Amino acid sequence: MNGIISLANITFKEGIRNRALFGIFIMALLAFALTVILTSLFMRDIVRVAASLSLTTITFSGLLMVIFIGTNLVAKDIDKRTIYMVISRPISRAEYIVGKFLGLCLLIIASIVFLGIVSSLPVLLAGLNYHNPQAIFSWDIYFIALIFIAMKLMLIAGVIIFWSSITSTSFITLILTIAVYIIGSTNEVVKGFLDMKMEGVNISPLMSAVIKFVYYIFPNLSALDLKVQAANGLSVSAEYLVWTSAYWLLYTAIIVSAGALIMERREFP
């Protein structure tokens, strides 16, 4: 257990001092400033636009961060042989994977807390400057959406760790992760088409099987996207939060354990 904790700790420290992170944060801050300017172009639903742009900025910067830092995490360890220093400690390969994953999660949490606090400023400003009695906005749902963004990024971190356990080439990890991200953001909509049984559209049994496979095997990332609810102040049931969190937790645990299992078989010559 100490092995996992200490590895997560140094992974976090190494990640937070990465120059790339600094650049991504600067970009996010500029986007928040742009949000303030953009919102002045709208008439009524200003808080809604500010909230949606802020959350989109956080998602985008978070994705950049996780993908950039995450794909290099294991690949660089193997390439530069820093992994020798870890595996020569009483740390198993499975613990190495879990430790790296948890370090990345710490990094995600820290970034989302920071960006979340900064992002609330344009929203606050928008609310103060233009009072709109018709708009419903709730900070509760805004922060739940933030937590869900963090959860989504952690799931993607798990996916990155999984691919890293198979290939040592960070570029291949990057490509595969982006593929999972795109599929995960759309598989629900595609499955929706299948369920509608639209007339004039014939889906072959093979195609239908492929869609179902993709739907069950790949993560449903749109379920973790509550930007629409946050922007419009729509409530989300407790039931939804519970089941979606359970789904998220199990999916992430599965993908990380699968990565750990594969890593156990690897050698580092």
Partner 1 sequence: MRIKRLLVILMVLIAGYALVFPSFEKVRYPVKEAQARGLILPPPVVNLLALEFKTITADFLFARASQYYGGRSFRPGIWTKNDYVWLYNNLLVTTELDPYFQDPYYFGNAIFTWGAGAINDADVLLEKGTNARTWDWQLPFFLGFNKFYFLHDNKGGADDLLIAAKRPGAWDGLPMLASRLYSDAGRTENAIDFLEIIAKNENNVKIKVNYEIRLDALKSILEIEKAVSRYKIRMKKLPKDIHVLVKSGKLAEIPKDPYGGQFYLEKDGSVKTTSNLVPMRRNTTTDSGKNAVKR
Partner 2 sequence: MTLIDMDSLTKVFKKDLTKKKVCALNSLTLQVQEGEIFGFLGPNGAGKSTTIKLLLHLIRPTSGRLSIDGKAASDKNVRRMIGYLPENPYFYDHLSAKELLWFGGKSCDLNDETILQRSAVLFKMFDLTDAMNRPLRSYSKGMIQRAGLALALIHDPKLLILDEPMSGLDPMGRKKVFDLILQLKEEGKTVFFSSHILHDIERLCDRAAILINGSLVRSIHVRKDLPAGKTLEEVFFEEVNKSGGLRE
- Residues contributing to the site for partner 1 (CB under 8 A): 38, 41-42, 48-49, 52, 92, 94, 186, 188-189, 192-193, 196, 198-201, 216, 220, 222-223, 225, 227-229, 231-232, 234, 236-237, 239-240, 243-244, 246-247, 250-251, 253-254, 257-258, 260-261, 264-265
Q: Give the residue with the Cβ less far from partner 2, 185 or 257.
A: 257
Task: Tell me how far apart the alpha carbons of residues 138 and 89 are, in angstroms, rounded to a whole number.
Answer: 49
Task: Tell me how far apart the alpha carbons of residues 250 and 4 are, in angstroms, rounded to a whole number.
Answer: 20
Contact, 75 vs 169, CB < 8 A? Answer: yes
| 237 contact choice in partner 1, partner 2, none (CB below 5 to 8 Å, kind-dependent) | partner 1
Residue 120, amino acid = S
Contact, 159 vs 71, CB < 8 A? Answer: no
Convert residues 9-38 into a mask of x (bound to partner 2 by CB under 8 A) and - (unbound).
xx--xx--xx--------------------
| 13 contact choice in partner 1, partner 2, none (CB below 5 to 8 Å, kind-dependent) | partner 2
Interface with partner 2 includes 171 (CB under 8 A)? no
Q: How far is the CB of 15 from partner 1 (least distance, A)?
A: 26
Contact, 137 vs 54, CB < 8 A? Answer: no
Residue 91 main-chain phi, psi, to 5 deg: -130, 120
Tell me which residue of 229, 258, 255 sits closest to 241, measured CA to CA: 229
Convert residues 84-113 into a mask of x (bound to partner 2 by CB under 8 A) and - (unbound).
xx-xxxxxx--x------------------
C-alpha distances in Å from residue 170, one per residue of 76, 78, 90, 158, 164:
8, 10, 26, 15, 7
Binding footprint of partner 2 on the chain (CB under 8 A):
2-3, 5-7, 9-10, 13-14, 17-18, 80-82, 84-85, 87-92, 95, 267-269
